[in-house]
Structure 1
């Protein structure tokens, strides 16, 4: 009888403990390294910190070559509600080098980048449902000198949607519309984009994503359509740490030729 009571008590303890363990699982959902957005928000009182250790981009049009390096691009995400968070992003250092192929001259601009404030709201979806959606609004202050910074303030809205086809495969679409800063530093213009991605989860710690991006930029000095393809991978050595990498390539003349981004994220 004593043995039966002991087994019953053990079973009860295990049954009560299971939900507690599930509740203790941290909601760790970095936006990086994808091109697209995310609807996942940080839990109230917790902070995501995401960092681009190195972001290098090369553009190689007919008359010049442009190399851009950004480092210490830091994004902090603070949960302020069950499905809401605020974000603050700052580019700590950027270096833009432009070489005129005909004249052989080189122009280099270095300095800090812009500061972006954003609010993200998760609208639909949870761990038990395959569909999720959200919305994010942002405004960028021109704290950096062009071309490291935008040269003028800008604002926009991002709408990410995701659907999990299986436990390993998910598709995502991110739509964005911006009042983007003009290159002259005066005024703004319409820019909008659509990003489609396919994510594959190899394990709970390793994922990879393939994406296609199409952007229309109605810059007054010249309207452009930019097409990009990107591959990214993320590895989580622990439940609150991620290391990642992204590589993208331009698919048309207007898009930057190559881009490589490395960095990671941590949850506090």
Structure 2
């Protein structure tokens, strides 16, 4: 075989590989693509270790009347299982000291506890109550869990206005949702811009919008505002976050029932 023939054979072989790769990419199912996007989002946020943040919660009822609460949130990143978080209410007086501890799990139901300072007692949140409102807000207890890939099945829906829309169906049969539609910003570290929640009757229940993102440590995107609108009750809950602190070096000792009680006193 002469040199020119060898080149032609090589070109044909490379062309065949390119066609095979293109076919593989084109053959990617919506489920595979949805899972791939969720994994990319998870990967983009790995490595923050722990953080604390102060925030203001504004509750708006269906008549437009508002009330405010101040909170502190601590988060511990775990890679072998889901993250741990501790939320403490600082004001007003009627909720001051109320605290919630969440152990998110990649598989199986999450563990959650609520400390009520008025009775100085820790109450475990049962799996049947995860869809209930978190301290009178439009956030449910299950909304407090970290975004673990294993908690959902996925289906890519479409790309719209630069956002990747992925349907996520909860694996937990006791979830209050049949599905969520999540909008990822692929150009900004796959950060989430919006989540639409559908109830057990598959009707649109709530929309959570993430606003005013800031980039921390050159890698970690965090929204300064979470705005949750309940379309069925016409109520809203807005969370305004102050600057995150990623230099607190929290450990698992900061996330147990002892620390839960201590935070509330």
TM-score, normalized by length of structure 2?
0.50
TM-score, normalized by length of structure 1?
0.49
Greater share of residues in strand: 1
Greater share of residues in helix: 2
- Structure with the bigger RCO (C-alpha within 8 Å, sep 6+) is 2
